[in-house]
Amino acid sequence: MRGDSIAFISHPDSNTHLAPFPRPNIESFESPLRTQMAESYLRNRGILETLLCIRSPRAKERAALLVHSPYLVDSIKLMTEIGTGQLGESAYASPELFRTALLAVGGAMRSAELVAKGKALHAFSLMRPPGHHASTSTPSGLCFFNNVAIAVRHATKHLGVAKVTILDFDDHFGNGTAEIFYSDPNVQIVSIHEYDYESFGLGHYMEVGHGEAIGTKINIPLVDMTPDSSYISAIDRVVVPAIERFSPQILAVSAGYDSHYADPVGNMDVTSKVYWYLGSTVTKLVERLNCAGSFWVLEGGYNPMMIGPCIEASLAGMAKHPLPKLDDQIERETNESVIETNESIIEQVLETLDAYS
């Protein structure tokens, strides 16, 4: 195994949990097709042969307790035994939930280990269900165990990593991850997400962390129908300088692909170019900061035909390859008012950050 390679973690049993919803709704979009089609796509494109492919190990139950309450762990186990039932908002059990969810935790932990121990420079865990909405004691939003948060806590507690940045580019705000680390000054969270300025909600840029952690939680809440150019501006103007200032030893990435314009759940207008730009930015940060590397954990992304190409773009960026030409990179209509609104939001994010740095 070479220390400058990219590891890819998956497992066929990631496909066993199936929420009990046959109709197209939020729950049914989080389906086994997501990981199955993405992996087939990457195999057919010859990309898997360039990666260190590793089967995800199943995490021990106690690993979940690194960030979750015993009540959350026991309730997921109980509902799995019953074989159905609601654990939280848009979080439904199946007879395979507990085992599948622990496999996803294992994938995230193994990716953190590979990078922290110098066995890979980057790692990508293509496992489901996602995790970033799961808080200390509440599953919600298709998430049960918070995979990335458990892997980050594992890295700081057991792998000798002092400071971690979590970059979350899923379309939605990772409220679970934010809650878990809100008072932790050693975990920086930088999140770009869709935000509704008419009804408001969590993920506002004024949420900056608590106590010693003030200033380590950075939200970039952009309006719906945000195009590539606003994402690139947010990355260049906020994400890069903030991570450089914090100077983590490892980067964790909550990789959600539901901001893509063809996603049935997210309302953004992004193409695979942004996912390439994120991969390439992360690689540059790793070099500049002399970090161990980055580990990526799949969050959302609900168009099973688009997840593979979007991951291909991210991997190309990580590997310092040029932007691959992909079918989704078509000219999108530019909405100047969206771009202007986003620029003023970015200004406010920067002003908020200045006040706490």
Residue ranges that bind Zn ion, judged by CB under 5 A: 170-172, 256, 258, 300
* Least gap, CB of 312 to Zn ion (angstroms): 20
| Catalytic pick among 133, 154, 172, 193 | 133
Q: Which of 136, 207, 217, 135 is nearest to 184 (CA)?
A: 217
Nearer to Zn ion, 7 or 127 (CB): 127
* Least gap, CB of 257 to Zn ion (angstroms): 9
**Residue 133 falls in the annotated catalytic set:** yes
* Least gap, CB of 51 to Zn ion (angstroms): 24
Nearer to Zn ion, 169 or 246 (CB): 169
Contact between 131 and 151 under an 8 Å Cβ cutoff? The reply is no
For the chain, the first-to-last Cα distance in angstroms comes to 40
* Least gap, CB of 149 to Zn ion (angstroms): 15
**Side chain identity, residue 51:** L
* Least gap, CB of 109 to Zn ion (angstroms): 22
Handedness of CA 31, 37, 43, 46 (dihedral sign): negative
Residue showing the smallest CB distance to Zn ion in the complex: 300
Q: Quick one: DSSP state of residue 192?
A: E
Residues 201 and 94: their CA atoms lie apart, in Å, by: 29
Alpha helices in the chain (DSSP H): 26-29, 33-44, 61-64, 70-82, 97-116, 147-158, 175-181, 228-234, 240-246, 272-289, 304-318, 336-356
Within 8 A by CB and 6+ apart from 250, the residues are 112, 115, 116, 155, 161, 164, 165, 291, 292, 293, 294, 295
Nearer to Zn ion, 58 or 204 (CB): 204
Q: Quick one: DSSP state of residue 13?
A: G
Residues annotated catalytic, as ranges:
133
